Amino acid sequence: MTGTAAGGPLSGVRVVELAGIGPGPFAAMLLADLGADVVRVDRPDGPGLHIAPSRDVTNRNKRSVTADLKTEDGRRAVLDLAARADVLIEGYRPGVAERLGVGPDACLARNPRLVYGRMTGWGQHGPLADTAGHDIAYIAVTGALGLSGPADGPPAFPANLLGDFGGGALYLVVGVLAALHHARAGGAGQVVDAAIVDGTAHLTALIHGMMAAGAWQDRREANFFDGGSPFYGTYETADGGHMAVGALEQRFYVQFMELLGLPETAPAREDPARWGELRAAIAARFRERTRAEWTAVFDGSDACVAPVLSLREAPAHPHLAARGTFVEHEGLTQPAPAPRFSATPGSVRRPPARPGTDTAEVARDWDVPSLDSLPKGPHR
C-alpha cells in the first residue's frame, strides 16, 4: 500500500520529515494519521531512540528513505523531495540544517510554496537557542513545571507530555496547517518556528489571566485545581489504587459527597481554613474500599470521579473501548488517530516505518530519481 492511497482530511498533502526524536516525529505522525503522505528521511546510523523501529508508534503511517545529509547524494535527494513536498519538518539545533545544505533558504529556493516547520526547545533565537535541553528544562522556565506537586516538596513532572508533545508537537502542527492554508490560498511558503518554551507558555494563558484577576496564587497546592482543594485531587484506595476527584462545581460536589457517604457534618468546602480536615475525611473514606468498588459506586454519575489507570489498563476502560480510543494494528496496541472526522476519518494504515525500506516506492510515487542512489533496505 502506498502513502498516496491514504484517507483523511490531509490526503494528498506531502510531508518530508528529517528524522529526529520526540516532538518532531510525533508531529509528523499526527499529520500522517490525518492522511498526509509522510516520508521520513532516516540517518544511516539508525534511529535515535533505543527501541526497535517496528515498535516506534510515532513512525506509523509513514514511509522511510535513508540518506546521509553529509554527502552530496543525500543533500540532493532531500532537496528533490522538498521540491515536490508541501511541508518539511526538522528538529535540529539552530543552524544545523543550514550547514547541511537543507535549510529554509535552500529548500524554499527549490519550492517557494513550501512550509518549513522547525521544532526546537528554545527556538531559533535567544540566549539559550544554541544550548542543549530537554522537556523538563523547557517547561521549568515557563512556570508550567512549578504548577504541579506538593507545596512542601519538589514539583512533579508529567513525563514529557506537557513540553515535548503539548507545547511542542501540537503547536508545530497548528503552525504548519495554518501556513499550509496560507500557501494554498495563494500566499508564499514560510518558516514555522515552533519552540517548546513558546507553546508551553501559551498553554498557561488561562492561569495567567486568573492570577492577574487575583483568582490564582503563584504557589503550589493553593488553588482549586493544583491540588490545593480537597475536591480536586487523587486519593488512595484500600488496595493501593487511586481515584481522581474533580468535583469543582457545587452540584457535582454535592453528588460526590453523597456517593462517598460522608455526613453533612463534614467540614464545609467554602472554608479553605478547614480544607485540611475535609481532605483527611475524604481520604479516610476512600481507604475503606478498593479502586474497583469505588469505580462501581461512581460509575455513570456526575460526581466527576474516575479511577487512575495505568497505561496497560487504559485500553480496556469501557468508555475508551466503546469509542475505539485505542486500536491494535499488526499486533501493536496504540492510541487511535485523533481527533475524529465525520467525512474524512483518519486511520492506522501502515505499521511503524523501518528505516530505508520504502526508498524505491517513494522514488516512484514522488518522481524523485535521485533517491535511487541512496541506500535501500532495513537498518537495525
What positions carry a catalytic annotation?
134, 164
The rounded distance, in Å, linking the Cα atoms of 320 and 307 is 13
Instruction: Using the structure block, give the residue that is written with the C-alpha cell 492506522.
Output: 348
- Backbone φ and ψ for 235, nearest 5 degrees, come out as -135, 140
Could you give the C-alpha distances from 13 to 48, 84, 162, 265, in angstroms and in order? 26, 10, 28, 62
Is the separation of the CB atoms in 92 and 70 below 8 Å? no
SS3 52: coil
Q: Which residues neighbour 269 within 8 Å (Cβ) at sequence distance 6 or greater?
A: 229, 230, 231, 253, 275, 278
The rounded distance, in Å, linking the Cα atoms of 35 and 8 is 4
Q: Locate the DSSP E strands across the chain.
A: 14-18, 37-42, 62-66, 87-90, 115-120, 190-195, 232-236, 242-246, 305-307, 326-329, 332-335
Please give the DSSP secondary-structure letter assigned to residue 351. P
